[in-house]
Structure 1
Amino acid sequence: MSYFDQDDLPSNLSDNEHFQQIVDRTVSRRGFLKSGVGLGAAAFLAAPLAANAGKHAHQHMDHGRGHGPKKGPRIGFTPIGTSSADTIVVPEGYQAQVFARWGDPLFIDSPAWRPDGTNTGADQARQIGDNHDGMHFFPLRGKSDKEGLLVMNHEYTNYEYLFGAEFMTPWTADKVLKAQNAHGISVLHVRQHKGKWDIVRNSKYNRRITGNTPMQISGPAAGHSLMRTKADPSGKRVLGTLNNCANGFTPWGTYLTCEENFNGYFGTTSGADTRDEIMRRYGISARGTGYRWEEFDERFDYAKEPNESNRFGWVVEIDPYDPRSTPVKRTALGRIKHENCAYAFTRDRRVVVYMGDDQANDYIYKFVSDGRFVPGKDAQNRRLLDNGKLYVAKFSDGAASGDFMGTGEWLLLDKRANATLAADGRFADQAEVLIKTRLAADAVGATKMDRPEWITVHPDTNEVYCTLTNNSSRSVTDDANPRTQNRFGQIIRWREAGNDAAAMRFEWDLFVVAGNPIAYPDRSDLRSGSAAITADNTFNSPDGIGFDADGRLWIQTDGSYSNSGVYAGQGNNQMLCADPVSGEIKRFLVGPSGCEITGLTFTPDGKTMFINVQHPGEASGHPNSPTPPAGQSMDQFIAANPLAFSQWPEASGGRPRSATVIVTKKDGGVIGT
């Protein structure tokens, strides 16, 4: 969580109902949570499946080995304890390789990494980007388990490490360029040889996509007047992609990168607040920004380029196999602060994309394509994301079957077919509905959520899981969450009616409510969360999430690592493994000091796991963080003393560096067994 991250500060001022109010009514009526969330998990997944239930197995992390569980997956490792150490911890019998660090060379002629932080903006464009996030492994040579393209996002930068001792003074155009080039995506040709993975640096596939890479705008909003700028009067071309958080991928072999906190890059040097309704709803800064790009790049000054921010906040499709291809922003999927996206198929083979808007009190969406997926017709399939219908979720406490807690419906965001939007003068056409997606969702009465982050679809049952990471801005007390603020988060899941992703209705429940029995040992009031959460198995702020081929649910955290107060004993951010049937959860990995654990992908055989360690060394609040001298901020102190808090992955790097970690079993087996 960057100091530029304002996800906890809601910009949703609508009167729409919050999800917690719905949970409250459900609990009051059924007393559901008093026996502990998760106890109904087996019943949730045991219901009869539709005939197409097993047809989606290729969509999960490792492209599917096609033999998902019937009684629940085996979790065979011995769980590890919490840790506040500056290292990676994995279970006995596993090993971890540090790989693809920020600044490592991507090409044969890439400039060398400079440990003092003095690489230039041009250097950074030829090096691996910063703050690794979502990623996916695309096999080469068929379904190779030892060679492929590892495509990863670079979400943002930590200036105290990016620029070295000079930090923010003086502020220069090259520093802006370096920050822009540290964002985006890296496409890495990777290969395993004798158990070790390396980057093939002379590969034609290697590629950096940055905040300055030319891109195409497609779909209903392309060419609209709100998408036009002085540099692009057509409204169909844009430079760059920013704040690339999590990701998705498609059944036709492309990568989807999601633009999240794009608002943090737009401000003005004018000294006046001239934002319009759209800018305010998306959280554009009234004046200057922490990134300070507007001082040297006029397209980030909203007073000079009022439409430039409308060109960010989209899902961007990239062909990793063609380094000459132009990335495409798919506007039919809506403009929000996208966390990730997860696809499914309808019964008639249309493509569905589920998405969360990662801000306190914002919404969950799904897109349903008009056209049908045709295997082998990749050029045709790529048009599927340009034409379709966008929906937003409305949850309710309506009577549900079995151990489901409630019901819900999908509200259509369509200017022509939705009477509310048709009558709303703020939306002249469907393009404006998509450019102003948040405002449209407000208008139709969508349900406010506690920061919807990653979404994933079970490979066999098709249930959809979503992490609601936390919402410290909310103050509601109830049986489900008697804490004055939702500091710990939860994971919800839903099943579409008829087990068809095209359905307009669904049933939902809570898979797990995170918590801390160490800080709150009295379980009688459920302050410690679900039954699966114990003193030996505690976490907060679930964020990254994904299934492997056998149906194990992997959970990654991005929360507090203060180890004090309500977070006492929880240690650094971590990754856990859950059985969706039994509700069992075990801790699998803990990261180094000040990091977030994020990104998740596997080789097709499930024997190699790739995860990302983002922003190691963010010192604020950590029990081992240094104390700056009087008159000096933590960032200033760290900029001058970059190894004072964290030295991960190695002190010789001169400063902490985001990196990928490759996890394998020492016996060569499948991860998690």
Structure 2
Amino acid sequence: MTDLAARLDPDFEPETNNSGNRPFADVVKARLDRRSFLRGGLGLAVSGFVAGPVAACARRPEAQDASSGPSLGFNAVPVSSTDTIVVPDGYEARVIYRWGDAISGDFPAFAPDNSGEDQAHQAGMHHDGMHFFPIEGDSPWQGSSTDGFLVMNHEYIETRFLHYAVTQGSEISSWGTPDHAGPRPADHVLKELNAHGVSVVRMRADANGNWRVVADPRNRRITGLTRMEIAGPARGHAKMATFYSPDGTHTRGTLSNCAHGVTPWNTYMAAEENWSGYFVNTDGEMPREHARYGVRPDVSRHNWHLADDGGDGYVRFDASTKADAPAGDYRNEPNMFGWMTEIDPFDPDSTPVKRTTLGRFAHEGVVFAPAEAGQPVVCYSGDDSRFEYIYKFVSDGAYQPGVTRGDILDTGTLYVARFNDDGSGEWLPLVYGQNGLDESNGFTDQGDVLINTRTAADIVGATPMDRPEWGAVDPETRAVYFTLTNNTRRTADQVDAANPRADNAFGSIIRWNEADGDQASTRFNWDIFVLAGPEGDSRDVNGAPLDQDAIFAAPDGLWFDADRRLWIQCDISDSALNSGVYTPFGNNKMLAANPDTGEIRRFLTGPVGCEITGVVTTPDQRTMFINVQHPGANTSEAGFAAANFDSHWPDGGRTLPRSATVAIRRLDGGKIGA
């Protein structure tokens, strides 16, 4: 792969953390040197720190009853490299929502020559995080299990498949376009922007469990062009002023939406992850709010700013200085991205809101702790880049069921995590005027701290992690789990207790308890739930290697169901699947784990070249939805030219591979996984 091709690849992550902060791998190495670590778990290593038993994972795993925790009532499926979905005996999986399936307008049928306007009414590309909202609209977790809104992210695009009417027969890579150098046809750019964003689509199941799209005026696509409101401390900031919004209060679009969040007040949060590659800044010197996030000086991923009609919605992706003041150009446009965007799935006229108090970085998603009346709202988010950080937000206001809305997220404190060798940790506040976050380090106010969240975290001494991805909170114990997917750039001298391996190809899952059972505490205790990898290089929470039914690598998606099964999804890069150190794992997969005993079983394997991502059940737990993203992404240039794609999932034959949502159910009608 050439250097230019690598920088156009959606998976390309420029390393921008030069803080010198002690990396997590150093902490984990020290922690592994303590004999108690993986065999004693969290409670043994830090007993006495927590006042009273706050979580099941604070007990020694070897002291637990082997039958404790949720059941895993299925036989593990084998490792697979076939081009299909494999689920356990007694289950079935049906495709219900593909890229290009229509949801609104005049319901345009999917075709390789769909227009940019067509795409605005169809499912976007590369389905990712999602949630099922029961149709009653009262609660995100209770209500109908046969009728509701599926809301999901569409993370990024593969232009060679998106524009197949033009690209077919060409030897072209997954990250390129034939007209990348410009000028670019405006309708191609429109189609690409409309293939990003979020779907809000009503789905209903019939008596046989078949789910279908329902025509509903609330169905809508939120795309890279949808008007958005800015809320929180960065609203109206001088660094948010653009030609489109001189007062810095609005912007257009949400991009690179990976995982998500579900608020206690029944709204959806779309994360903005690897957004920096969409911009270019040719100024001789970039501001840190560009440079620290990886905005490039020479090329952008899709060169949208080179659209041949010069449309304002396209030229904004050139963040170079072109006017006397920020209100005359788009030098601040990158500052409009990297936030969590709140969407009301039940109000099609509502404007999505970017909640800036939650920080600006490569948000993988956000996970809320169970909300309690009279207590602050608490949520967690990972910055999914190598050597980046884990964050927590605690609201100033108290949660009031039926009253609280999204504006509670506009005032509060954003913290960043520091992990210590002894299994303890601190949440470090990112507050203007504290811990060096002042004029001496170039900050002017709290809005500036949040626009430059990564730099602020560098300064206060946060622990650089191995790509923090999804988080999940145990609904019973309140323990918090996060996937650390991998980091092959970590060297031996960068190993620490929480990131224990150099050249970390396999990843891990870390977990912690907040001190004294208080989710808003500034102290916590941590351990590692599992070190992923093959049988010869892995460890479960009891210190034993993973067996053939449990091996996995590159953990990414993570979710607890209502019975406390922990669902783990994998994202080995499509270019590395079934090769090298990843050969034993086959295609990407989903597993279920018992958080008390540490038992893990493989539940599902996906088609060739895909990532398995997005997971949720209906309230009765009898239907599970998962997403299959970018099947066939590893198709070679020659294979693409010959229409010999590595995957033809989900439709088979010689069809284009398409990301899609899958509904899974037990044939006996029972709960998934039980």
Tell me which interval the TM-score lies in, with the shorter structure as reference length. Answer: 0.7 to 0.9
Cα deviations across residues 112-140 of structure 1 (Å, max 9, x unaligned)? Answer: 111xx211111100111110000001101
Q: CA deviation at 1:348?
A: 4.3
Q: CA deviation at 1:199?
A: 3.5
Q: Which residue of 2 aligns with 1:545?
A: 558
Does the CA contact (< 8 Å) of 2:417 and 2:462 recur in 1? yes
Structure 2 residue aligned with 1:495, among 497, 502, 513? 513
Distance 1:423 1:529, change over 3 A: farther
Aligned counterparts of 2:430 and 2:589: Cα–Cα separation in 1: 37
Aligned counterparts of 1:512 and 1:420: Cα–Cα separation in 2: 36
Aligned counterparts of 1:49 and 1:97: Cα–Cα separation in 2: 48
Q: Which residue of 2 aligns with 1:211?
A: 224
Aligned counterparts of 2:124 and 2:39: Cα–Cα separation in 1: 39
Q: Which residue of 1 aligns with 2:244?
A: 231
Q: Which residue of 2 aligns with 1:475?
A: 491
Cα deviations across residues 138-192 of structure 1 (Å, max 9, x unaligned)? Answer: 1013611111111000000011211115332343221111110000000010111
Q: Secondary structure at the match of 1:424?
A: helix
Q: Which residue of 2 aligns with 1:281?
A: 292
The letter of the residue matching 2:406 is R
Q: CA deviation at 1:195?
A: 2.4
Between 1:460-469 and 1:118-127, the stretch displaced more is 118-127
Q: Which residue of 2 aligns with 1:337?
A: 362
Cα deviations across residues 353-410 of structure 1 (Å, max 9, x unaligned)? Answer: 1000000000000010000111111xx4321111111100011113xxxxxxx10000
The letter of the residue matching 1:552 is R
Q: CA deviation at 1:290?
A: 2.4
The letter of the residue matching 1:326 is T
Q: CA deviation at 1:92?
A: 0.4
Aligned counterparts of 2:163 and 2:542: Cα–Cα separation in 1: 41
Cα deviations across residues 188-232 of structure 1 (Å, max 9, x unaligned)? Answer: 101110223333442122110000001111111001110010121
Distance 1:610 1:454, change over 3 A: same
Structure 2 residue aligned with 1:615, among 630, 642, 666? 630
Aligned counterparts of 2:95 and 2:45: Cα–Cα separation in 1: 38
Aligned counterparts of 2:9 and 2:214: Cα–Cα separation in 1: 33
Q: CA deviation at 1:306?
A: 1.1
Does the CA contact (< 8 Å) of 2:630 and 2:658 recur in 1? yes
Q: Which residue of 1 aligns with 2:397?
A: 371
Q: Secondary structure at the match of 2:161?
A: helix
Structure 1: 5+ residue runs without aligned partners?
A: 55-68, 399-405, 620-624, 626-633
Q: Which residue of 1 aligns with 2:420?
A: 396
Q: CA deviation at 1:81?
A: 0.5
Structure 2: 5+ residue runs without aligned partners?
A: 1-5, 57-65, 168-176, 308-313, 323-329
Q: CA deviation at 1:267?
A: 1.0
Aligned counterparts of 1:538 and 1:515: Cα–Cα separation in 2: 6
Structure 2 residue aligned with 1:113, among 110, 113, 117? 110
Q: Which residue of 2 aligns with 1:187?
A: 200
Matched, 1:4 2:9: yes
Matched, 1:357 2:383: yes
Q: CA deviation at 1:276?
A: 2.1
Aligned counterparts of 2:99 and 2:408: Cα–Cα separation in 1: 34
Q: CA deviation at 1:4?
A: 2.5
Distance 1:464 1:262, change over 3 A: same
Does the CA contact (< 8 Å) of 1:147 and 1:191 recur in 2? yes
Please give the TM-score of this superposition, normalised by the length of structure 1: 0.87
Aligned counterparts of 1:454 and 1:267: Cα–Cα separation in 2: 28
The letter of the residue matching 2:418 is K
The letter of the residue matching 1:325 is S
Q: CA deviation at 1:2?
A: 11
Does the CA contact (< 8 Å) of 2:577 and 2:609 recur in 1? no
Structure 2 residue aligned with 1:123, among 101, 118, 123? 118
Q: Which residue of 2 aligns with 1:315?
A: 340
Aligned counterparts of 2:655 and 2:542: Cα–Cα separation in 1: 41
**RMSD over aligned Cα, in angstroms?**
2.7
Q: Which residue of 1 aligns with 2:581?
A: 566
The letter of the residue matching 1:265 is Y
Distance 1:274 1:177, change over 3 A: farther
Q: CA deviation at 1:46?
A: 12
Q: Which residue of 2 aligns with 1:587?
A: 602
Q: Secondary structure at the match of 1:421?
A: coil
The letter of the residue matching 1:286 is P
The letter of the residue matching 1:311 is M
Distance 1:190 1:72, change over 3 A: same
The letter of the residue matching 2:478 is N
Distance 1:284 1:588, change over 3 A: same
Matched, 1:292 2:310: no
Q: Which residue of 2 aligns with 1:63?
A: none
Q: Which residue of 1 aligns with 2:174?
A: none
Between 1:189-198 and 1:608-617, the stretch displaced more is 189-198
Does the CA contact (< 8 Å) of 1:107 and 1:201 recur in 2? no
Does the CA contact (< 8 Å) of 2:150 and 2:202 recur in 1? yes
Q: CA deviation at 1:537?
A: 2.5
Aligned counterparts of 1:85 and 1:529: Cα–Cα separation in 2: 32
Aligned counterparts of 1:424 and 1:361: Cα–Cα separation in 2: 25
Q: Secondary structure at the match of 2:437?
A: helix
The letter of the residue matching 1:182 is A
Q: Which residue of 2 aligns with 1:671?
A: 672
Q: Which residue of 1 aligns with 2:619?
A: 604
Aligned counterparts of 2:589 and 2:155: Cα–Cα separation in 1: 19
The letter of the residue matching 1:107 is S
Q: CA deviation at 1:23?
A: 1.1
Aligned counterparts of 1:668 and 1:43: Cα–Cα separation in 2: 41
Cα deviations across residues 6-26 of structure 1 (Å, max 9, x unaligned)? Answer: 465421011101011011112
Aligned counterparts of 1:527 and 1:544: Cα–Cα separation in 2: 18
Q: CA deviation at 1:639?
A: 4.4
Does the CA contact (< 8 Å) of 1:41 and 1:580 recur in 2? no
Q: CA deviation at 1:291?
A: 1.5
Aligned counterparts of 2:280 and 2:247: Cα–Cα separation in 1: 24
Q: Which residue of 1 aligns with 2:446?
A: 430
The letter of the residue matching 1:373 is Y
Aligned counterparts of 2:207 and 2:577: Cα–Cα separation in 1: 40
Does the CA contact (< 8 Å) of 2:508 and 2:532 recur in 1? yes
Distance 1:601 1:423, change over 3 A: same
Matched, 1:515 2:533: yes
Distance 1:173 1:470, change over 3 A: same
Structure 2 residue aligned with 1:73, among 61, 70, 74? 70
Q: Which residue of 2 aligns with 1:463?
A: 479
Distance 1:539 1:42, change over 3 A: farther
Distance 1:581 1:39, change over 3 A: farther
Q: Which residue of 1 aligns with 2:29?
A: 24
Q: Which residue of 2 aligns with 1:414?
A: 431
Aligned counterparts of 1:38 and 1:596: Cα–Cα separation in 2: 32
Q: CA deviation at 1:479?
A: 10
